[in-house]
Amino acid sequence: MLRLNPYRIGFRTIKTAVGMALGVIVAKALGLDNFASSAILVVLCIKHTKVHSVQAIISRFVSCIMILILGSIIFQLLGQHAIVLGLIVLLFIPLAVMFNVQEGVVTSCVILLHVFNAKTIDLDLFINEVLLLIVGLGIAFLMNIIMPSLDGSLDEYKEQVERQITQVFKAFHNYCQEYNKELNLDPLFKRIESTVSSAKSLAFRDVKNHFVRNENAYYYYFDMRETQLELLQRMQKLLQQIQTNDAILDQIAELFEEVSNNVNSNDYTFLRLHSLYEIRLELDELALPETHEALLTRASIIQLLNELEEYLNIKSQFGSLKMHHDVKAS
C-alpha cells in the first residue's frame, strides 16, 4: 500500500516559490527570450545558508559564461547539430571541474540549449542570456538573504541539554543516598549525545548564514557540553563501583544536588568548587578504610571528585553563553 510521507511547507519552499514567480515576471517584463528559464536558475540557487548560496551563484555564473562562449564558437564553426551539442558537453564538463565550477553544469546546460535552439547566434543572443543569468541569480541571491534567525531553535536545544544534564545529577544525588540500587543512565546519555550533535550541526549552519563571522558562541557552548558528557559517563562508572556506605557520601550527594540546581548558570560554579574542596579536606581527615570493599569505594570517591572538579572547571572557563558571545564578538 502506498504511504504518503508527512510534509510541512518550510521557509525554503516558500522562498523557492516566490523566487520562481518573481524571476519569470521580471524576465518577461524585460522582454527576454526564454524568460521561463529564469525560474530554473532561481530553483537551482536557493540554498540553506547565505554563504553556500553566494558560492553557488558565483559558480553558476562563471560556468554559464564559459558555456555561452564555448557553445557560440563551436556551433558557429560546426553547426547546430545534436552531435555537436554532445561534443560541447563532453568538452565543457572536464573544463568546469578544472575551474572548480562544476556545481553550475546543470544551469550551463540550460543556457547551452538556448544557444542550440537560437535561429541566429549573435551579440543580441549573448546579451539576452547574460540578462537571464542576472535576473535569475540576482533574485536567488535576494531570496537567500532572507534567512530566519536560528537563535530560537538553538536556545531550545540549550534548554533541552540543560534539563537532561539536570536529570543526570539528580540521579547521581539519589544514588549516593541509596547506592545499592541500580544506576543506568546510558539511555539518557544517548539522548544528550543526540541533542548535542543536532545542536552543533544547527550552530554550524548558523555560521554559514553570516558573511563576516566564522565562529558561533552556541557551537562552543554545545562543544563544551559534549566534553562534559564524557565526564558524566565516567562519573557514572565510578558511582557504580561504590560498594560500601562511606561517611562522605551524604556530602557528595548534597554537592550533586547543588550542581543539578545550577546547570544553566555559571554564577555559582566557584561556590560548587569551594564545596568540592571542602569535601576533599574532610576526606583527608577521615580514618583509612579497613576492608577491601571500603578501600575500593574510597578510591572511586576520590576519582569521582576529580572528574566533578574537571566538569566544573570546564563550565567556569567557558563562562555564560552571553559572556562567551561578547568575547568572540570583541
For the chain, the domains span 11-145, 151-329
With H, G, I as helix, E, B as strand and everything else as coil, classify residue 229: helix
Are the C-beta atoms of residues 221 and 314 closer than 8 Å to each other? no
What is the spatial distance between Cα 316 and Cα 84, in angstroms, rounded to a whole number? 67
- 12: its cell numbers: 525554503
pLDDT of the residue at 317 = 82
What is the spatial distance between Cα 169 and Cα 263, in angstroms, rounded to a whole number? 9
Topology at the third CATH level for domain 151-329: Four Helix Bundle (Hemerythrin (Met), subunit A) (1.20.120)
pLDDT of the residue at 169 = 94
pLDDT of the residue at 4 = 61
Q: Count other Cβ atoms within 10 Å, centred on residue 9.
A: 8
Q: Kindly tell me the burial class for residue 159, based on how many C-beta atoms sit within 10 Å of its own C-beta (0-12, 13-18, 19 or more).
A: exposed
pLDDT of the residue at 153 = 84
Per-residue pLDDT of the chain (330 residues; tens, 9 = 90+): 556 665 566 667 787 888 889 989 999 999 999 888 888 888 887 766 666 677 778 888 899 999 999 999 999 999 989 999 999 999 999 999 999 888 888 889 989 999 998 888 889 999 999 999 999 888 888 887 776 667 788 889 999 999 999 999 999 999 988 877 888 999 999 999 999 999 988 887 766 555 444 456 888 889 999 999 999 999 999 998 888 888 888 899 999 999 998 888 766 777 888 889 999 898 888 778 778 888 888 899 999 999 999 999 988 887 655 544 444 443
pLDDT of the residue at 318 = 79
What is the spatial distance between Cα 280 and Cα 267, in angstroms, rounded to a whole number? 22
pTM of the model: 0.64
- Per the rule left: phi > 0, alpha: psi between -120 and 50, beta: everything else, 178 is beta
- Per the rule left: phi > 0, alpha: psi between -120 and 50, beta: everything else, 320 is beta
- How do the residues of the chain divide into helix, strand and coil, expressed in percent and rounded to 5? 75, 0, 25
Nearest alpha-carbon partner for 309 in 231, 215, 254, 196 = 231
**Packed helices 50-78 and 82-98: angle between N→C axes, nearest 10 degrees:** 140
Q: Which residues of 66-101 are buried (b: 16+ CB within 10 A; e: fewer)?
A: bbbebbbebbeeeebeeebbeebeeebbeebeeeeb
Are the C-beta atoms of residues 249 and 179 closer than 8 Å to each other? yes
Are the C-beta atoms of residues 130 and 121 closer than 8 Å to each other? no
pLDDT of the residue at 89 = 92
φ and ψ at 280, to 5 degrees?
A: -65, -45
- 313: its cell numbers: 572547571
Tell me the DSSP string of 41-66.
Answer: HHHHH--SSHHHHHHHHHHHHHHHHH
Nearest alpha-carbon partner for 144 in 216, 28, 55, 214 = 55
pLDDT of the residue at 207 = 63
**Packed helices 82-98 and 105-117: angle between N→C axes, nearest 10 degrees:** 150
pLDDT of the residue at 246 = 80
Name the DSSP letter for residue 247. Answer: T
